[in-house]
Structures are given as structure tokens and as C-alpha cells.
Amino acid sequence: MDYLSGWRDAREATAELGDALRLVGVETAGLRLRAASHTDGSGMVRLELSAASAREVAVLARVAAARLGRAG
């Protein structure tokens, strides 16, 4: 199993997600992103948020859902 390529993919995705969250103003002090690989070798991103940062991400997700016509 090629765990290294999965981890590399996750590392790139981690950087992209971190950059995107910073761009929209999510508080980075309460944010932790880690690249990992799953047991099948695929990449996995672990995300830990403070409660305040989780609320900010929830607002962003709702805004995106509304723009996509998926608001509930």
C-alpha cells in the first residue's frame, strides 16, 4: 500500500483548506489541521476547531449552501 502518496495528497489538501479558511477570516488560533493517511492508503485531513472557529465555519457552510440553493 502506498501510504506516502496519500499523505502527500492530504498535506496539499491541508494547505489548501488552511489557506481558504484564513482568507475568509476564520480565527487560526483555534484551528488545527493535520495530514494523515487512512488504512487503505488514501489521504485524510484531520481538522480540530475551537468552538468559536467551528461556529465561523458553520456560518460559512450555511452561506455556501444558500448560494447553491441547498439552504434548509
pLDDT confidence of residue 27? 86
pLDDT confidence of residue 57? 94
Buried-exposed string 22-51: b where 16+ CB fall within 10 A, e elsewhere? eeeebeeeebebebebeeeeebbbeeebee
Find the length of the chain: 72
In angstroms, the CA 23 to CA 58 distance is: 16
Kindly list the averaged pLDDT for each block of 10 residues, start to end, along the chain of length 72: 89 96 89 94 95 94 92 67
pLDDT confidence of residue 29? 86
Question: Comparing C-alpha atoms, which of 46, 42, 49, 34 is closest to residue 2?
Answer: 42
pLDDT confidence of residue 72? 63
Q: Which residue has the cell 495528497?
A: 9
pTM: 0.83
